[in-house]
A = this chain, B = another copy of it.
Amino acid sequence: MYQVNENYLKLPGSYLFSTIAKKVAAFAEANPDKEILRLGIGDVTQPLCPAVIEALHKAVDEMADPATFRGYAPDLGYDFLRNTIVEKDYKARGCDISADEIFISDGAKSDSGNIQEIFGACSKIAVCDPVYPVYVDSNVMAGRTGIYDATTETWSDVIYMPTTKENGFVPEKPDKRPDLIYLCLPNNPTGTTLTKDQLQEWVDYANKEEAVIIFDAAYEAYIAEDDVPHSIYECDGARTCAIEIRSFSKNAGFTGLRLGFTVVPKDLKAGDVCLRDLWARRHGTKFNGAPYIVQRAGEAVYSPEGKAQTDEQIAYYMRNASVIRNGLLDAGYEVFGGINAPYIWMKTPDGMKSWDFFDHLLENANVVGTPGSGFGPSGEGYFRLTAFGTYENSVAALERIKAL
């Protein structure tokens, strides 16, 4: 008989947000009179901005006309978008990245799940703890993570780098040498980030240890402070050790539109093998491009109107972040993040377990958040709230939490 990929069977439980969705649905069914406020999953609520809508309509009209209709996109994505990204995201910040190092995709989740595929089966991965589940789960599926210990909720072959209030949410260099280091900055779920000097240390470390940093910069648009890098390529030497993943989901509200990109510099080489060429081969074999109309929508994000309008959306969400952060502080909670990121990371009260606090908040305040332990063992005793709701709901949720 045929065999299945047994690594899949090692995955404990189901994907974090599916579990939350099921719990919330059960609560809603049992309590049809309660109004539930959702500050759980990091999904945006503001509609697409006018510049993006206009670009979409225009591109749709092009698809109706034989003279302007577009079929298969170029393998790496359309030049108009890749060239714009080079100018606005990289050259403008002094980063040396060229258009043929940029791969347009259907989003950062796909890319951060798929990128591990171009590396050897025995690669050791290092992740911050807590961490976005996709990094670990995609490596579990590939058989790289060893044995799962249900008690500690850790994998024997994964290097965990705790980021907690004790170390100021700055991951320490691991004792064992990693091959792949996943860094998400500004961080999901903690909402914290690193300064340029702190990130430079990681770039130097990766170059010294001949490791690759997978740098997830999905939240870079939320950076408010000056000495926080928007791209890892602002650090010296990053071209020889780092892959960067970017998203349009959070900076422009594209969660339902699906667009992202990955940068693989040509200087990133394992001996003679250029990682860019491997990723190009994967892209060309197992993917067929993001929709033309969505790539045009992405281009519009960089126009003067698009930039001004999406900046407004970001300001809107960061006002929510302030409401949540300050509300929690007023209520006496210990709070982190929410300054350079749309996530607020709080200590649960009285050492309560994360899932207990989830239930407590759902049942008593009818507010949905995300249990910190769902992101890794060092997330136990923490809880994540997101700023992606509406202003009114953010205010209302905090009033309820304060009243608990």
Interface residues in chain A, defined as those with a beta carbon under 8 Å from any beta carbon in chain B? 1-6, 8-9, 11, 14-15, 18, 41, 43-48, 50, 53, 56-57, 60-61, 63-66, 69-73, 75, 106-107, 109-110, 113-114, 117-123, 133-134, 137-138, 141, 143, 179-180, 210-212, 253, 255-258, 270-271, 273, 275, 278, 281-282, 284-294, 390
User: Which of B18, B256, B271 makes the CB contact (< 8 A) with A292?
Assistant: B256
Docked Cα-Cα span, A282 to B72, in Å, equals 25
The 10 closest A-B pairs by CB, nearest first: A3-B120, A113-B286, A2-B179, A1-B210, A43-B71, A71-B255, A47-B69, A70-B256, A109-B288, A53-B64
Contact check: which of B3, B46, B255, B273 meets A122 at CB < 8 Å? B3
Is A118 a contact of B5 with CB atoms below 8 Å? yes
A249 vs chain B, min Cβ distance (A): 8
A56 to B281, CA, bound (A): 31
Most buried by B among A8, A66, A273, A281: A8
Give the chain B neighbours of A134 by CB distance below 8 A. Answer: 285-286
| Chain B residues with CB below 8 A from A1, complex form | 210, 270-271
* Alpha-carbon distance A110/B11, docked complex (angstroms): 23
User: What B residues does A294 contact at CB under 8 A?
Assistant: 291
Q: How far is the CA of A302 from the CA of B92 in the complex (A)?
A: 46
* Of B6, B46, B291, the contact of A69 (CB 8 Å cutoff): B46
**In the bound complex, how far is the Cα of B284 from the Cα of A133, in angstroms?**
11
Contact yes or no, A141 B53, CB < 8 A: no
**What residues of B have a CB within 8 angstroms of the CB of A47 in the complex?**
63-66, 69
Q: Find out whether the CB atom of A107 lies under 8 angstroms from the CB atom of B60.
A: no
- Which residue of B is nearest A49, CB measured? B64
> Whole-angstrom distance from the CB of A44 to the nearest CB of chain B?
5
Contact A18 B284 (CB under 8 A): yes
Min CB gap A264→B, angstroms: 12
Question: In the complex, which residues of chain B have a beta carbon less than 8 angstroms from the beta carbon of A273?
Answer: 4, 9
A286 touches B64 (CB 8 A): no
Q: Supply 19 A–B pairs (Cβ within 8 Å), ascending by A.
A: A1-B210, A1-B271, A4-B270, A5-B119, A5-B121, A8-B278, A15-B284, A45-B66, A46-B69, A47-B64, A48-B63, A48-B64, A57-B60, A63-B256, A71-B255, A107-B288, A138-B286, A141-B286, A291-B291
Q: How many copies does the complex hold?
A: 2
- Note all chain B residues with C-beta closer than 8 A to A137: 285
Contact assessment for B53 and A63 in the assembled complex, using a CB-CB cutoff below 8 Å: yes
Chain B residues with CB under 8 Å of A285's CB are 15, 113, 133-134, 137-138, 141
Q: Do A270 and B113 have beta carbons less than 8 Å apart?
A: no
In angstroms, Cα B213 to Cα A146, docked, is 31
B270, A120: Cβ atoms under 8 Å? no
Measured CA separation A281–B141 after assembly (Å)? 10
If A278-B8, A285-B138 touch, does A180 touch B2 (CB 8 Å cutoff)?
Answer: yes
Bound-complex Cα distance A56 to B257 (A): 12
Which chain B residues border A3 with CB–CB below 8 Å?
119-120, 122-123, 179, 270
A271 to chain B, nearest CB (A): 8
A258 CB contacts on chain B under 8 angstroms: 106, 288-291
> Assuming the A-B contacts A6-B120, A60-B57, A270-B2, are A109 and B293 also in contact, with contact meaning beta carbons closer than 8 angstroms in the complex?
no
Q: Which of A43, A133, A258, A278 has the most CB of B within 10 A?
A: A258
Is A72 within 8 A of B43, CB to CB? yes
Q: Which residues of B contact A63 (CB under 8 A)?
A: 47-48, 53, 56, 256-257
In the assembled complex, the CB of A156 is this many whole angstroms from the nearest CB of chain B, namely 19
